[in-house]
């Protein structure tokens, strides 16, 4: 089959992404700044009786409250997998920002009531029926703290991903419902007029976005694929090959990932992200190389030919297609983090890419190397491609014989242009160390790309 060459117009250039990203950020800041005016333009009667520091506390508390509400609204938008935002920022970066924003929301949720209570001079909070909107606010605070804590320390609490995700969405829905009610009834500002309407509109949009996320569980993807076969690819790693049920092609660029939901008697029907390791130049089928690292992935070899998988995507910007078209490429992979690089290398081999390419690939043992024969073949097909294998343990897994560090990396990259594009993918700590190392060696931060799967 003739290889298909990707059109560079299928991805935004860096300049376009910077321009569109700047516009998005400006719009968000404009909305937040506009929200800050509400406590001033639509004053509640309670503020008329406040003076000096008490008035400052009350207004500041209200400003923090509306900021919190706006950020919660955007939180749902961030995880709605909007393709337009993905093409600008990349979904994995958006989710990382979503997590960081959650921490900021928790901080605002703690500070907001402190300032309000300080303005009211309460020694003890009055437990009276007429303060029920304030009690709802306490409930919102508790829910937000629970959401942020479980999201950032899920593994510490030993919560399975699928169970956490259902819990996260359910508690988020409850928190938004309580927060909306709290806002509408806690102050005269939001009981009528434009502020009241804006809250209802925002709540309605959030409800639609949340419903869309929930429906993904029952209608898990836009495209239905059928498993062709599942084959061993290396130690504890399997190649899952699928074909389109309808013959429709999934357009993607090398290095992108998708969300897979299997419908199988042997594998739980859960949604998980995986990189497409096959090349888009051969779009008749897709391949995923998956290592058994957890409860769900340990069952992946039990998928049977003919079973269905739903695929949502593609997403991500971790690809040589978004970088320079002529500068050298350096790839640093850890273990199964090779998968996006494999897609890129396969594509570059198909289109006879002449660039200099260096792959530094760290694995525990030689047995952990996936598709060793294919990588030998890629060296023959790509005239300027070289591989350096790093084996961190011997086959017995006891002796540390080659852990990659900055000193070794600097020797390996001696003579390579500091204008090279550097791609890093692997375990989180390895990516952090290697990203820091290549920057210290002298490579530009703007030229260093990493793929982080903390979704």
Structural domain includes residue 182? yes
Work out the pLDDT band at 323, boundaries 50, 70, 90.
Answer: confident
- Are residues 109 and 197 both part of a single domain? yes
Residue at which a domain ends, from 190, 218, 246: 218
Structural domain includes residue 190? yes
Distance of CA 418 to the CA centre of its chain: 28
Give the bridge partners for 329, in sequence order.
Answer: 357, 421
| Structure confidence at residue 223 (pLDDT) | 85
- Are residues 126 and 249 both part of a single domain? no
pLDDT score of 274 more than 80: yes
| Structure confidence at residue 28 (pLDDT) | 94
Please tell me the distance from the alpha carbon of residue 58 to that of residue 40, in angstroms, as a whole number. 11
Query: Over pLDDT 70: what percentage of the chain?
Result: 92
Task: Look up the CATH number of the domain holding residue 335.
Answer: 3.40.50.80
- State which residues form the domain around 69: 8-218
Maximum distance among all Cα pairs of the chain, rounded to whole angstroms? 81
- Are residues 112 and 204 both part of a single domain? yes
- Are residues 105 and 66 both part of a single domain? yes
- Are residues 184 and 253 both part of a single domain? no
Q: Are 454 and 154 in contact (CB under 8 A)?
A: no
Distance of CA 391 to the CA centre of its chain: 29
Q: Distance between the two ends of the chain, CA-based, in angstroms?
A: 35
SS3 labels along the chain: CCCCCCCHHHCCCHHHHHHHHHHHHHHHHHHHHHHHCHHHHCCCHHHHHCCHHHHHHHHHHHHHHHHHHHHHHHHHHHCCCCHHHHHHHCHHHHHHHHHHHHHHHHHHHHHHHHHHHHHHCCCCCCCCHHHHHHHHHHHHHHHHHHHHHHHHCCCCCCCCHHHHHHHHHHHHHHHHHHHHHHHHHHCHHHCCHHHHHHHHHHHHHHHHHHHHHHHHHHCCCCEEEEEEEEEEEECCEEEEEEEECCCCCCCCCCCCEEEEEEECCCCCCCCEEEECCCCCCCCCCEEEEEECCCCCHHHHHHCCCCCEEEEEEEECCCCHHHCCCCCCEEEEEEHHHHHHHHHHHHHHHHCCCCCCEEEEEEECCHHHCCCHHHHHHHHHHCCCEEEEEEECECCCCCCECCCCCHHHHHHHCCCCCCCCEEEEECCHHHHHHHHHHHHHHCCCHHHEEEECCCC
| Structure confidence at residue 1 (pLDDT) | 45
- Are residues 235 and 270 both part of a single domain? yes
Residue at which a domain ends, from 285, 315, 345: 315
- Are residues 209 and 291 both part of a single domain? no
Work out the pLDDT band at 48, boundaries 50, 70, 90.
Answer: low
The residue that leads in pLDDT, 92 or 143, is 143
- Are residues 72 and 132 both part of a single domain? yes
Block residue for tokens 């309000």: 116
- Are residues 163 and 32 both part of a single domain? yes
Please give the model's pTM, rounded to 2 decimal places.
0.85
Q: What is the mean pLDDT of the chain?
A: 87
- Are residues 193 and 231 both part of a single domain? no
- Number of domains within the chain: 3
Which whole number is the average pLDDT over 231-257?
Answer: 90
Give 431-454 pLDDT, tens digit per residue: 999 999 999 999 988 899 988 765
Give 156-199 pLDDT, tens digit per residue: 888 888 888 889 989 999 999 999 999 999 888 888 899 999 99
Give the bridge partners for 92, in sequence order.
Answer: none
Task: Look up the CATH number of the domain holding residue 155.
Answer: 1.20.120
Q: What is the CA radius of gyration of the chain?
A: 26
- Are residues 339 and 437 both part of a single domain? yes
Please tell me the distance from the alpha carbon of residue 104 to that of residue 73, in angstroms, as a whole number. 14
Please tell me the distance from the alpha carbon of residue 199 to that of residue 204, in angstroms, as a whole number. 9
Structural domain includes residue 178? yes
Q: Are 8 and 253 in contact (CB under 8 A)?
A: no
Residue at which a domain ends, from 188, 218, 248: 218
| Structure confidence at residue 344 (pLDDT) | 96
Task: Look up the CATH number of the domain holding residue 245.
Answer: 2.40.30.10
pLDDT score of 9 more than 70: no
Please tell me the distance from the alpha carbon of residue 193 to that of residue 51, in angstroms, as a whole number. 26
Structural domain includes residue 2? no
Structural domain includes residue 189? yes
| Structure confidence at residue 14 (pLDDT) | 80
- Are residues 234 and 122 both part of a single domain? no
Please tell me the distance from the alpha carbon of residue 46 to that of residue 182, in angstroms, as a whole number. 16
Block residue for tokens 């992404």: 17
Please tell me the distance from the alpha carbon of residue 188 to that of residue 44, in angstroms, as a whole number. 5
Structural domain includes residue 3? no
């Amino acid at each position: 089959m003739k290889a298909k060459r990707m059109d560079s117009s299928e991805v935004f250039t860096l300049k376009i992404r910077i321009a569109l990203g700047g516009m998005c950020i400006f719009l968000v800041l404009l909305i937040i700044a506009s929200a800050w005016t509400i406590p001033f333009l639509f004053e509640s009667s309670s503020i008329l009786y406040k003076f000096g520091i008490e008035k400052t506390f009350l207004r500041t508390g209200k400003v923090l409250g509306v900021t919190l509400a706006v950020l919660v609204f955007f939180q749902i938008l961030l995880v709605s997998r909007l393709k337009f935002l993905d093409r600008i920022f990349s979904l994995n970066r958006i989710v990382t920002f979503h997590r960081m924003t959650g921490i900021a929301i928790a901080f605002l949720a703690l500070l907001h009531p402190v300032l309000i209570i300080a303005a009211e001079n309460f020694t003890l909070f009055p437990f009276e029926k007429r303060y029920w909107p304030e009690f709802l606010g306490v409930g919102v605070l508790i829910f937000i703290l629970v959401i942020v804590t479980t999201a950032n320390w899920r593994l510490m609490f030993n919560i399975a991903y699928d169970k956490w995700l259902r819990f996260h969405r359910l508690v988020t829905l409850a928190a938004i419902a309580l927060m909306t009610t709290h806002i509408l009834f806690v102050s005269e500002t939001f009981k009528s007029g434009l502020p009241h309407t804006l809250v209802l509109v925002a709540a309605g949009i959030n409800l639609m976005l949340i419903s869309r996320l929930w429906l993904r569980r029952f209608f898990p993807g836009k495209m239905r694929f059928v498993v062709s076969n599942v084959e061993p690819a290396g130690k504890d790693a399997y190649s899952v090959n699928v074909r389109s049920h309808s013959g429709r092609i999934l357009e993607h660029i090398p290095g992108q990932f998708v969300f897979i939901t299997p419908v199988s008697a042997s594998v739980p029907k859960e949604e998980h992200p995986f990189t497409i390791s096959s090349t888009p130049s051969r779009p008749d089928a897709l391949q995923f190389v998956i290592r058994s690292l957890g409860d769900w992935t340990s069952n992946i070899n039990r998928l049977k030919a003919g079973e269905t998988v739903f695929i949502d995507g593609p997403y991500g910007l971790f690809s040589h297609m978004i970088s320079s078209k002529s500068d050298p490429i350096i790839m640093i992979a850890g273990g199964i983090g090779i998968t996006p690089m494999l897609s890129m290398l396969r594509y570059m081999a198909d289109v006879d890419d002449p660039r200099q390419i260096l792959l530094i690939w760290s694995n525990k043992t030689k047995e952990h190397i996936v598709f060793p024969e294919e990588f030998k073949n890629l060296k023959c097909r790509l005239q300027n491609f070289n591989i350096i294998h790093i084996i961190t343990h011997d086959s017995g897994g006891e002796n540390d014989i080659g852990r990659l560090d900055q000193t070794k990396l600097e020797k390996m990259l001696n003579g390579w242009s500091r204008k090279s594009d550097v791609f890093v993918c692997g375990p989180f700590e390895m990516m952090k160390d290697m990203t820091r190392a290549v920057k210290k060696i002298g490579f530009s931060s703007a030229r260093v790309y990493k793929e982080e799967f903390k979704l």
